[in-house]
Amino acid sequence: MQRDYFMNQFVNNYTEKGFGIIRGVDTSSIVNSVQEFLACNDLSNIHKKVGRDEINEVRLSLSKSLSTSEVREKILTLVEEQMISLIGPEIAVQKNINVTFHIPQIDNNITPLHSDVLCGNSPYEVVVWIPLCETKKTQSMYLFDRETTFEILSSFNKLKCRRKVLEEFKDRKHYLELNVGDILIFSPTLIHGSSINSEDISRISLNLRFKSLHSPFHLKKLNDYFVEIRKLPQTIMAEEYESRL
């Protein structure tokens, strides 16, 4: 009963704001594997371990290492109740897990404000964002809630450039303060991004997308960008039936 109450709270908050946070999730196996891969116990100090000119190569190598069916399955099990409530039980998952290193004081280490939908993703997806160290202020990412996102989209024609948009809506920019074990789940329609990291610590985070097998894929297709991860027995039987006719 209590579980249903908290799930209803999560879904209501997600529906209202476009995002929700689940707390106290056991992400230790993922964190430990990344620590081992990077030979770094304190991931918030990765900038002391890896040189600036090596960061992108290391990031891509880590992404490749994590992009396995086992890790995708592990992440889904952490958020499966939320995914079923948001998109249903038949699920596709992004094939490659994205890894972000947000290093202090690097001008070209930012993600300009954007929404995934404006970059070719389907609005039917859900984004799962997992911090591997504590996140705060400019070391974290920011996002705007649903209502502010609609206002920003309406203002683009008037304001013309991202800098003016950020200035106009700066008081409504929400930097995420999360601990290890917290997971952010948000709509790909939300405007979000990152600023120059003015803190003295780094952020390493993972993100990947889930969606219903039966909702539109847009530019990023099944068996290319996405792979199946959950399918019900009748769907399996129906596909077998059609393939044998």
- 227 vs 4: CA distance, rounded Å: 29
Could you tell me the pTM of the whole model?
0.94
In this prediction, residue 245 carries a pLDDT of 85
Summarize pLDDT for 108-160 with one digit per residue, the tens: 778 888 899 988 999 999 999 999 999 999 999 999 999 999 999 888 777 66
What is the gyration radius of the CA atoms in the chain, in angstroms? 19
Summarize pLDDT for 33-86 with one digit per residue, the tens: 999 999 999 999 999 999 989 999 999 999 999 999 999 999 999 999 999 999
pLDDT, the chain, mean: 94
In this prediction, residue 187 carries a pLDDT of 98
In this prediction, residue 244 carries a pLDDT of 93
Mean pLDDT of 163-182: 88
In this prediction, residue 159 carries a pLDDT of 66
- 133 vs 139: CA distance, rounded Å: 10
Summarize pLDDT for 51-60 with one digit per residue, the tens: 989 999 999 9
Mean pLDDT of 1-20: 88
Summarize pLDDT for 193-232 with one digit per residue, the tens: 999 999 999 999 999 999 999 999 988 999 999 999 999 9
Instruction: Enter the tokens of residue 167.
Output: 């200035």
* Count of other CB atoms within 10 angstroms of residue 56: 11
Instruction: Enter the tokens of residue 126.
Output: 């859900």
Which CATH superfamily includes the segment(s) 2-244? q2cbj1_9rhob like domain (2.60.120.620)
Least Cα distance to 125 among 238, 20, 13, 215 occurs for: 215
Residues in contact with 96: Cβ distance below 8 Å, sequence separation at least 6, in sequence order: 63, 64, 67, 208
C-alpha separations of 212 from 1, 77, 101, 117 in Å: 26, 16, 29, 16
Least Cα distance to 66 among 130, 19, 23 occurs for: 130
Least Cα distance to 18 among 115, 139, 111 occurs for: 115
Q: Is the pLDDT of residue 20 over 80?
A: yes
Least Cα distance to 31 among 100, 102, 131 occurs for: 131
In this prediction, residue 1 carries a pLDDT of 62
In this prediction, residue 197 carries a pLDDT of 96
Mean pLDDT of 97-114: 90
- 125 vs 18: CA distance, rounded Å: 12
Q: Is the pLDDT of residue 177 over 80?
A: yes
